[in-house]
Amino acid sequence: MLTYHGMAKQAVIETGGKQYLVSPNEKLIIEKLPGKAGDSVTFDKVLLVSDEGKFDLGKPYVSGAKVIGKVIDQNKADKLVVFKYRAKSRYRRKYGHRQQQTVVQIESIS
């Protein structure tokens, strides 16, 4: 365990191929998860837990650590426009994509 003074409880979780630093009562926008608004979701892939300046680092995950959150909303992100162009060949392609995402509020870290 490493120590660092002045930090509240935090954790680093892995979901959707990305890592997020979270703390209780924080809202987080992540890739789409199954479930409806109001459902509870548990993140088991916890890479690091920090509590009152004490760090518990996993190799790769911290055993027995969980982060519990509540699904707030299921929606889509802003449109991403993809434009392909090749000079001097009259080639132009334009299309858009809206990624589905989930808004989660972190409730507890244990």
Give the Cβ contact number of residue 27 at 10 Å. 12
pLDDT per residue over 37-83, tens digit each? 999 999 999 999 998 878 899 899 999 999 999 999 999 999 999 99
Please state, in angstroms and as integers, the Cα–Cα distance from residue 80 to each residue in 29, 95, 98, 110, following that order. Answer: 16, 9, 6, 37
b/e 78-104 (16+ beta carbons within 10 angstroms → b)? eeeeeeeeeeeeeeeeeeeeeeebbbb
- Where do the domains of the chain lie? 2-109
Question: 4 pLDDT exceeds 60?
Answer: no
pLDDT of residue 45: 95
Question: 3 pLDDT exceeds 80?
Answer: no
Q: What is the pTM of this model?
A: 0.82
- How far apart CA 97 and CA 100 sit, in angstroms, is 10
pLDDT per residue over 13-23, tens digit each? 999 999 999 99
